[in-house]
Structure 1
Amino acid sequence: MSRNDRSEGDARLTRRRYVAGAGAVVTVGIAGCSDDPEDEFEEDDGTGDSGGDDTNGDSGGDAPDAEEGDLEIVHWWTAGGEEDAFNALLDGFREAHPDVEIVDNPAPGGAGSAIDTVIQNRVLDGNPPSTFQIWPGQALTPYTDADLLEDIGDSVWDDEMREAYLDDIIELSSPAGDLVAVPINIHRMNNLFYNVDVLDDAGVDATDIDDPQGLLDALETIDAETDAVPLAHQTQSPWSTLQLFEDVFIGQHGADEYVSFIEGGAADLEDEIRETLDLLAAYADHYPEDAGSISWDQGNDELIEGNAAFLHQGDWAAGQYEAAEGFEFAEDWDMVPFPGSDGVYHSVIDSFVFPTSNPSPEATEQFLNYAGTVDAQERFNPVKGSIPPRTDVPMDEFGAFLSRQFEDFENSTNQPPTIAHGTAVAPAIHSELEEAFANFNENLDVDTAYEAIRDAF
């Protein structure tokens, strides 16, 4: 039966096609910053210098215990529910392939801030891990341009798997034509999480906040009425602020203007960008005093403990809530779409790839085959706080929050890709924008930040 002949869940499939298509639109014609693929790697090295959210103090990626034939996996899932989700994935793989020795070799750093340099250096040296975590779409292009990823269209993507994934998600996984990645989840970015008791104490109703300016008013009220930190935001590394900028911009100016921005329209949107940066600077008055030294999950811990009111973060934060004892959805914590972004599912996808010069081709193929299964995605996503990219994964075990997210996904009218997580812009532009927001975190200088954003494109 053809994909277009399927009747069950047609509305769900239509909207899933759109989320992948949004990323695919900006993948076509990336026109990187150099004709030499190695130069583009050098351009992007800055993402590894952002300080990351390295709560483990481990730079990762050196494979100290990997032996020939071992499955070495490099990833950045080391925080809270993320680590639990990755371990759930590995448990399922071990059950299916008990003879494969796994070397878990994390390169921690928020939003992959450390993994880029680790992986780029290794693949260019001809010493890649077996597989590594990466966003499909634009983030893949430096590797495909340099012919450093294997075509897995025949070895991994069998007919059953192709039928379960939507065509546009498959397109995101094949930016140069060949299928090179296996997506495992879909995350939402435009979440505003909150501690129910703190907001009740402040007399703030999150559902009444209509726009990003209204959120500032709520932060000021929380500051005046409670001892809690109004917005548990980290500035140790720039990705969180870049991510916040994206959703404030969408909330103020809409998803269509955001798409114009990521397609290179920064010079034509100067007033809009400045307005967003001005509001971000005002939000900064309500960050934690130690925002420059904490990680996103440490900020999230403060929300769980009742010491902070709001957190803007991807829905991986929900994995941390689910793991916290006695911290119940709707009773203790809840979420609203970032003010002004109703109907938007601002999304990012994670995937795994098969690098060339692979040290364990058989084990890597087995792992990628498993990552694309219903079993893998049913184990991984409920813990990770994400929804599956396969269309046939039962939602019975996903809980009330993710079921609501899935419903929002089904009903969303816009599903734009994200800058902060690599799917919306070329890697070199992503690096330039991270640098712009690293500086903005330090000085809150709107003029300098706008000029850096404009020049990045």
Structure 2
Amino acid sequence: MTDANEGSDVSRRDYLKAAGAGTIGVTGLAGCMGGGGDGESTTTAGDTTTEGGDSGGDTTTEGDSSSNYNTLEVQHWWTGGDGAKAVQALFEGFKQKYPEIEVNQNPVSGGAGQNLKTVIKKRVLNNNPPSSWQAWPGKNLQPYVRANKLKDIGESVWSANGMKDAYLQGPKDAAKPGGKFVTVPINIHRLNNLFYNVEVVEQAGVDPSSISKPSDLVAAMKTVEEKTDAVGMAHQTKSAWSTGQLWAQVLLGEHGEETYTAFTEGKVEANKAAIKDSLQIVKDYKNHFNSDAGSITWTEANKNIINGKAAFFHQGDWAAGMYRGQDGFEFGTHWDQVPFPGTEGVYALNMDSFPFPKNNPSPEATKKFLQYCGSVDAQKRFNPKKGSIPPRTDVPKDNFGPFLSRQMDDFANSDAQVPSIQHGLAIPPEPLNGFGDAMSTFTSSWNVDKTYKQLKQAFN
């Protein structure tokens, strides 16, 4: 099982916030760091960097040459579970290729990644970043780009290993949130999944692949509950992030990629009917959730699929790690997956990446590390253990198993790859913060009108 994603709604409250439109330099970055009353310092003694400038932001450490690399320091939050195994495999491969480079893994555990994000913000503001760190790409990195804190690596990194040809457009777009390549995605977790218990849906006479759009899923869940002892959908509402993620797939499946993208661009009022309709559909789903949805985690909800107590479950493909780890619970026989209704041909992306900061303490070692992260060797080592697929489309499937191999095929053949709303790839930190608040309101009140108003406000 992955360690990645539970509690993602907590992290939104402490994201970097981009203050307004236009270029935001270090002053803007600093001023946004302490918002939300978290007690985080917003200023740094001796920080003389000027707004919008490069002062202290684009220097390199002396002596970092091909024969004398400075220590590579990489920070991440993969300290347990599948993530720890995957990152260990990544660094084992890197050390085999570059034994002369000393590596300092400096992980920061806890807070569903939030603790690491807090550490990184402070270090970047102090012009003392690590060599690289685990970060969601896309608009999550926009404040760093606007503050001129990330280096253009289009030639130094992305020209290596055939990366530009091997990555599809969605991951490439996420790697250049400001128009230039600044980070390297290493994995993809798909979000538009509908998992199901095979025995339950067969007993109910429901064919998941025949459900054409999200609103039609309601009737399928009713049929399940009429003909079996299972609930229609396993879900958790203790934390709002699962519902935010679910709503995004409903919007995508019911109203299409164009509407989904328009929402991420802040065109809320122009798509009012679609947004409210999607909220209402999720509210309709609520009638078919397990009765303890408000007091359990997503992993506990997922056990309902394994135990045959629920027919359907929406989640990122990290959920499949629980199924694969369950003896006697086989893919295709006991559990299966289809694209969320209405999203056939679309691959909804959540990714991890490694950015290249300016003022890098080990620029040459970091270049080699990011080039390696973008290679076939790195991605075939990391992803099978992580339960994710590679963003490169030329990685062999040998070690991925039947489920992830099918996901790799779906990705390679996808017509579009849309970034995650809930995980900050599709919308910048400030509206993401408001989005999370709106989903918290929704899961506590199930008030469509009130939630819509908060979603509209999130982009203002």
TM range (shorter): 0.7 to 0.9
1:199 to 198, 201, 210: 201
Name the residue aligned to 2:452: 450
Name the residue aligned to 2:54: none
What are the superposed Cα offsets for residues 179-224 of structure 1, whole Å, 9 maximum, x if unpaired?
3211112332211011222333444332232222222223334344
Query: Which residue identity does 1:406 align to in structure 2?
Result: M
Name the residue aligned to 2:275: 273
What are the superposed Cα offsets for residues 319-371 of structure 1, whole Å, 9 maximum, x if unpaired?
33333333221012100111122222222332111334545556544432321
Contact kept, 8 Å, 2:130 with 2:361, in 1: the verdict is yes
Greater mean alpha carbon deviation, residues 97-106 or residues 305-314:
97-106
- Counterparts of 2:396 and 2:422, CA distance in 1: 30
- Counterparts of 1:125 and 1:237, CA distance in 2: 33
Q: Secondary structure at the match of 1:268?
A: helix
Unaligned runs of 5+ in 1: 1-28, 50-67
The answer on 1:218 being equivalent to 2:220 is yes
How far 1:137 sits from its partner (Å)? Answer: 2.2
What are the superposed Cα offsets for residues 26-72 of structure 1, whole Å, 9 maximum, x if unpaired?
xxx997488455545765877998xxxxxxxxxxxxxxxxxx94634
How far 1:376 sits from its partner (Å)? Answer: 0.9
- Counterparts of 2:195 and 2:19, CA distance in 1: 34
Name the residue aligned to 2:48: none
Query: Which residue identity does 1:273 align to in structure 2?
Result: I
Q: Matches of residues 222-301 of structure 1 in structure 2 within 5 Å? A: 222-301=224-303
Query: Which residue identity does 1:88 align to in structure 2?
Result: A
- Counterparts of 1:30 and 1:318, CA distance in 2: 38
How far 1:452 sits from its partner (Å)? Answer: 0.8
Contact kept, 8 Å, 1:41 with 1:142, in 2: the verdict is no
TM-score, length-scaled by structure 1? 0.78
**Identity across the alignment (%):** 46
Contact kept, 8 Å, 2:23 with 2:146, in 1: the verdict is no
What are the superposed Cα offsets for residues 74-131 of structure 1, whole Å, 9 maximum, x if unpaired?
23x4675444433432343344456734435244455x56654343233224454442
TM-score, length-scaled by structure 2? 0.77
Larger Rg: 2
Q: Which has the higher helix share?
A: 1
Contact kept, 8 Å, 1:34 with 1:40, in 2: the verdict is no
What are the superposed Cα offsets for residues 3-46 of structure 1, whole Å, 9 maximum, x if unpaired?
xxxxxxxxxxxxxxxxxxxxxxxxxx997488455545765877
2:333 to 309, 331, 334: 331
Pick closer, same or farther for the CA change 1:70–1:449 going to 2, 3 Å: same
How far 1:160 sits from its partner (Å)? Answer: 2.9
Greater mean alpha carbon deviation, residues 156-165 or residues 265-274:
156-165
- Counterparts of 2:23 and 2:440, CA distance in 1: 24
1:390 to 375, 392, 395: 392
- Counterparts of 2:307 and 2:106, CA distance in 1: 30
- Counterparts of 1:302 and 1:100, CA distance in 2: 45
Greater mean alpha carbon deviation, residues 355-364 or residues 267-276:
355-364
Q: Secondary structure at the match of 1:160?
A: coil
Name the residue aligned to 1:415: 417
Q: Secondary structure at the match of 2:392?
A: coil
Q: Secondary structure at the match of 1:182?
A: strand
State the aligned residue count: 409
Name the residue aligned to 1:124: 125
Pick closer, same or farther for the CA change 1:229–1:109 going to 2, 3 Å: farther
2:435 to 433, 436, 443: 433
Greater mean alpha carbon deviation, residues 113-122 or residues 212-221:
113-122
Pick closer, same or farther for the CA change 1:441–1:341 going to 2, 3 Å: same
- Counterparts of 2:279 and 2:450, CA distance in 1: 11
Query: Which residue identity does 1:317 align to in structure 2?
Result: A
Q: Secondary structure at the match of 2:451?
A: helix
2:313 to 306, 311, 315: 311
The answer on 1:139 being equivalent to 2:146 is no
Pick closer, same or farther for the CA change 1:48–1:163 going to 2, 3 Å: farther
Q: Secondary structure at the match of 1:422?
A: coil
Pick closer, same or farther for the CA change 1:438–1:399 going to 2, 3 Å: same
The answer on 1:85 being equivalent to 2:81 is no
Contact kept, 8 Å, 1:191 with 1:336, in 2: the verdict is yes
- Counterparts of 2:131 and 2:249, CA distance in 1: 35
Pick closer, same or farther for the CA change 1:337–1:170 going to 2, 3 Å: closer
Pick closer, same or farther for the CA change 1:209–1:391 going to 2, 3 Å: closer
Pick closer, same or farther for the CA change 1:79–1:180 going to 2, 3 Å: same
Contact kept, 8 Å, 1:48 with 1:113, in 2: the verdict is no
Unaligned runs of 5+ in 2: 1-17, 39-69
Greater mean alpha carbon deviation, residues 261-270 or residues 231-240:
231-240
Pick closer, same or farther for the CA change 1:294–1:155 going to 2, 3 Å: farther
Pick closer, same or farther for the CA change 1:339–1:415 going to 2, 3 Å: same
Contact kept, 8 Å, 2:28 with 2:147, in 1: the verdict is no
Contact kept, 8 Å, 1:43 with 1:431, in 2: the verdict is no
- Counterparts of 2:110 and 2:202, CA distance in 1: 35
Contact kept, 8 Å, 1:48 with 1:117, in 2: the verdict is no
Query: Which residue identity does 2:89 align to in structure 1?
Result: A
- Counterparts of 1:108 and 1:243, CA distance in 2: 22
Name the residue aligned to 1:322: 324
CA RMSD of aligned residues (A): 3.3
